[in-house]
Structure 1
Amino acid sequence: MSGVVRVFVISPDTRSERRLELHTTVQKLKGNLELITGIPVANQIVSLLNSENDTQVIAVLNEDERPLGFYGLRDWHVLKVEDANPAVSFTGQLTDVSQVEKFELTGKEYEERRDTVLAYKQRNKMGRFAPKDDAPVAAPPLPVNISVGSRCEVESLEPGLSKRGVVRFVGETKFGKGIWVGVEYDEPFGKNNGSVQGEQYFSCRANYGVFVNPNKVKVGDYPIIELGLDDEEM
């Protein structure tokens, strides 16, 4: 058997891992345990357990002149140290919070104190106490050099397709931010009759009206595209 074992030492206030020499006597062990647990030698009851989960006592180390090897200590055994007179040494009272008087404040009392985190934030204008910036003022819309009544052509993603019409509206709307241009197309390429979401901005036939961003509109002398049909085909 090895001359040194590693065991756990537990008491009401402590828990630690220790290396013990098996030839050490119980009396010497108790002297060391007093330094570890705070329990006086005369009050110590030292029990040997297989583990912390196994509460069955293998042996009680009560013969002071016996070496630890006599009790069959092995690695990771547990030495449980109890206090036969805890009222004198105050054992266990360090971890018994049930006897601690609770300090409680009402919400109003807490707000009136000047040594709290809340008071610190108030003094330094932090968090919800930080000064509120004035609501940002929306930048005025950029001027758009497009006049109502102008002939125009609207940018198309389809090659060779020209969407021409007349500008019927220029301004802000309720359905989107910024300036929008309302166009009445020459042909039914549109999406509405000049109204969006129940708001009428201009009037035209159904599917001839559309609203687009100003950068998609080119104003100029754009003639109406003729369909190129002969009289007989009309």
Structure 2
Amino acid sequence: MSSALNIWVRSPDTRSERRFERHVTVANLKAKLELITGVPAQNQRLWLHNSESEDAPIAELADDEKMLGFYATRDFQMIKVEDTNPSTSFTGQLTDVSQVEKFEMTDVEYAQRSDTVMAYKSRHKMGRFADKSTEEDGQTEAQTQKVDIPVGSRCQVESNEPGLSKRGTVRFVGPTKFAPAGVWVGIEYDEPMGKNDGTVQGEQYFTCKSNYGVFVRPDRVQVGDFPEEDLLEEM
């Protein structure tokens, strides 16, 4: 029997799959979970669930001296991290955008700018600024594009930031209502680096936690054996 377990970890702001040794103590486990969830070890209350889909816990990991294996923990069970004192941590602040000041611009102000997407499309005769025949040809080519990206496969998304690897799971492949033509790939990131929860403009294409979902063009997606990166190993 392997000494390492694959365990789902859930907290108010995170959801990820991790590997922990059976002989790790609850105290040491809390220290590791602090780096993953942002919840201070002293504020953590840990609950063991049979799976992600079961709300009722089967045990509380209440004894800091006990080892994880003491609770007969199995692969793909879930540890739910409860923050007993969220006022001293960042719990909930990563997903709460109610306090973020919004930048707003009128349509007239937007149309007068030369550094916008609309201005770029106008200069290059793209989208609604394109000649009708050119636009129709482009849509036909995009609609018939064949994409070999299976739903459910692991992937890595091209990033403009050096050293940043955005990994996740493909949840959707196909046309969308938020774009006039072409194939889009919906991805659930391993970490909250996305822009939505799988819903765009009121249309639900897949389901995930807020800020874990994103839609990108197929040419930015690389499918392969991309396991979830272990933050603890990198540190």
Taking structure 2 as the reference length, what is the TM-score of the superposition? 0.49
Taking structure 1 as the reference length, what is the TM-score of the superposition? 0.50
User: Over alpha carbons, which structure has the higher Rg?
Assistant: 1
RCO (CA 8 Å, sep 6+): is it higher in 1 or 2?
A: 2
